[in-house]
Structures are given as structure tokens and as C-alpha cells.
């Protein structure tokens, strides 16, 4: 009998697949976090000293990427923690909560930077162009080097790919600050600095909105991006002996793992454990669903009704 259901002749099949960040990326995360944290402090300090809001805004962007690295690192670490009687999935979903908190903090930072930038637009302050060029140039090296740490794993793991893309984008933003610094040195137009700051804020806001949207959808147990519910349903309905599929649910267990539960109506009899293993394997490899629980319903009438007598 299926838990929470009143169906006779019920059987369950459970399959697991895992897509955690490889253990050897722990060192890459540690190096990336340390390098970028030190650079955030240096860049923000020199940004205030030189009067460059572009540097301050870029420091905010770098801070967002430090948080992203910590989030990705935390996701890999949380996935390794064992489940317990109270937390039967372990602490996998804590990464979703962290993503929502991360997005909220970034929104506050965007507001603070934007407020100061608008003030600078109305009253442009003198900016030390060479400071912008040198500090942002260091940023290109640090962000580029950090991206290289994750480059070899960017195709195999979404968590690693996210870290790689964040750091690569940071290197490009730092390059933009260098260009702004050179333009100020050549033209003496100090309004270029706050305008560059606005462009950086727009980049941060775009990434923050994407993070907030995706994390809230995960928190609401929406089907993860990249997984098609109709395709999964079509696959299950096309299995030999399956007459109908109901109670199909697909949701994120964490920022990297997905779970599924489904009832398959199979009046011809239970197909056996090999069938369940085959289904779990296909869901994992073809649909990126690593945790699948399948319940077989043998009684057609009871499976498709809500009768308490079944």
C-alpha cells in the first residue's frame, strides 16, 4: 500500500543518481574565495580613495561573485552530508535558501551603489584614472585566473559552470572599468566614471534578478530549468505495460539535484525490479532526474479514483 494513498497492490521503485561537484574542486573554491575576497577589500578601498564609483560598483559585483562561489561550494558540501531521521533529504535544500538570501543582499547593495552613483552624476567628482586602470587591471588577472580554476569542469557540472561563468563575466566587467579609466585619462571627462558605474549596476541587477527568480521558483518546488515535464510524462506513458501516469511531481532537492515521484497504472501485473531500475536509469541519464520514486498501481479502477474503499 502506497504511503498517503489507498491503493491495493502497490509497489515502489527508488533510484538515485548524483551530480555533486567533484571533491577536487574544493581547493579551487577555497583559492577563488580567498583571492576574490582580498581583491574586493582592495578594490573597494581604492575606489573610495580615488573617488571612483566604477571601482566601488565593480567591487560590489566581485562581492556578489564571492557569494556565488560560496553558494556553489556550500551546495557541494551540503550534498555530502548524510540524511537523518529529522532531515530525510539531508541539508540539500539549504542551498536554495542561501540563493534567496544572496539575491536579497545583492538588491540592498544595488540600491546603495545606485544612490551614490546618481549623486555623482549630478555633481561629478574628480577621479584618479590611473588608480582605476591599475586596480581594475589586477581584477582582470584575478578573475581570469579564478575562472581558469573551474574551466575543466564547466561542461560536466552545472555548479562548476556557474562559478566559471560568474568569474569570466567579472573579468569582462573589470576590463570595462579599465577602458573607463583610460577614457578619463585621455579626455578628463569625470562623468565617465558614474556612467560606467551605472552600467556595472545594470550588469549586477541583471544577474541578481536571474538569481532571485530562479531561487524563488526552486523554493516553490517548480520543475527545474532544463527539465521538461511533458517529455518526462511522455516517456513514462510510453513504457511497455503502462496504461496511465498520475501524481507526477518533479521538484528541486537542491540547486544541483532533482527528485521525482510518479504512479504508473499497470493492470497487467508488476513488471519487476529490473523495470524499475531501467526507468530510474533513464530518468537520471536522459532527463537529469537523479532521485526517482515510482509506484506501480495494479488496480485500474482504484488507481484512477479517490474511493476510500480501495
DSSP helix/strand/coil, 254: coil
Last residue of a domain, one of 170, 193, 219: 219
Same domain, 294 and 233: yes
Query: Which grid coordinates belong to 37?
Result: 575576497
pLDDT value at residue 3: 36
Same domain, 199 and 215: yes
Question: Could you read off the pLDDT of 228-252 as tens digits, one per residue?
Answer: 999 999 999 999 999 999 999 999 9
Average per-residue pLDDT for the chain: 79
Same domain, 129 and 251: no
Q: What is the model's pTM?
A: 0.66
* Cα 301 → chain centroid: 42
Same domain, 76 and 174: yes
Domain count, the chain: 2
Same domain, 215 and 103: yes
Question: Could you read off the pLDDT of 93-125 as tens digits, one per residue?
Answer: 877 777 777 777 777 777 877 877 787 777 766
Same domain, 64 and 194: yes
Last residue of a domain, one of 191, 219, 247: 219
Q: Which value, to the nearest 10 degrees, does the dihedral of the CA atoms of residues 237, 243, 247, 250 take?
A: -10
Residue 82 has pLDDT above 70, yes or no: yes
Q: Distance between CA atoms of 202 and 234, rounded to whole angstroms?
A: 41
- Residue 164 lies inside a defined structural domain of this protein: yes
pLDDT band at 304 (very low <50, low <70, confident <90, very high): low
pLDDT value at residue 16: 45
Last residue of a domain, one of 219, 239, 274: 219
Range of the domain at 295: 11-18+224-303
- Residue 2 lies inside a defined structural domain of this protein: no
pLDDT value at residue 300: 67
**H or E element that contains 296:** strand 291-297
Amino acid at each position: 500500500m502506497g504511503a498517503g494513498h489507498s491503493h491495493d497492490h502497490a509497489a515502489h521503485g527508488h533510484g538515485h543518481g548524483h551530480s555533486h561537484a567533484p571533491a577536487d574542486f574544493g581547493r579551487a573554491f577555497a583559492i577563488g574565495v580567498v583571492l576574490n575576497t582580498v581583491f574586493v577589500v582592495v578594490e573597494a578601498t581604492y575606489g573610495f580613495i580615488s573617488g571612483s564609483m566604477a571601482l566601488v560598483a565593480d567591487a560590489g559585483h566581485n562581492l556578489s561573485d564571492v557569494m556565488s562561489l560560496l553558494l556553489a561550494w556550500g551546495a557541494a558540501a551540503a550534498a555530502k552530508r548524510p540524511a537523518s531521521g529529522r532531515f530525510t533529504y539531508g541539508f540539500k535544500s539549504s542551498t536554495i535558501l542561501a540563493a534567496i538570501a544572496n539575491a536579497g543582499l545583492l538588491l540592498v547593495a544595488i540600491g546603495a551603489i545606485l544612490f551614490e552613483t546618481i549623486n555623482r552624476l549630478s555633481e561629478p567628482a574628480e577621479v584618479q584614472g590611473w588608480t582605476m586602470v591599475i586596480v581594475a587591471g589586477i581584477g582582470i588577472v584575478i578573475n581570469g585566473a579564478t575562472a581558469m580554476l573551474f574551466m575543466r569542469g564547466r561542461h560536466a557540472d552545472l555548479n562548476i559552470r556557474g562559478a566559471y561563468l560568474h568569474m569570466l563575466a567579472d573579468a569582462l566587467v573589470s576590463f570595462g572599468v579599465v577602458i573607463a579609466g583610460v577614457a578619463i585619462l585621455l579626455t578628463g571627462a569625470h562623468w565617465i566614471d558614474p556612467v560606467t558605474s551605472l552600467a556595472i549596476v545594470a550588469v549586477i541587477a541583471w544577474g541578481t534578478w536571474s538569481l532571485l527568480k530562479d531561487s524563488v521558483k526552486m523554493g516553490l518546488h517548480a520543475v527545474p530549468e532544463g527539465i521538461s515535464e511533458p517529455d518526462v510524462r511522455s516517456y513514462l506513458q510510453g513504457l511497455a505495460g503502462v496504461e496511465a501516469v498520475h501524481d507526477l511531481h518533479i521538484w528541486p532537492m537542491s540547486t544541483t539535484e532533482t527528485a521525482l515521484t510518479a504512479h504508473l497504472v499497470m493492470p497487467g501485473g508488476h513488471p519487476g525490479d529490473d523495470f524499475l531500475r531501467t526507468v530510474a536509469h533513464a530518468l537520471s541519464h536522459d532527463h537529469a532526474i537523479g532521485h526517482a520514486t515510482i509506484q506501480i498501481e495494479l488496480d485500474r479502477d482504484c488507481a484512477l479514483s479517490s474511493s476510500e474503499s480501495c
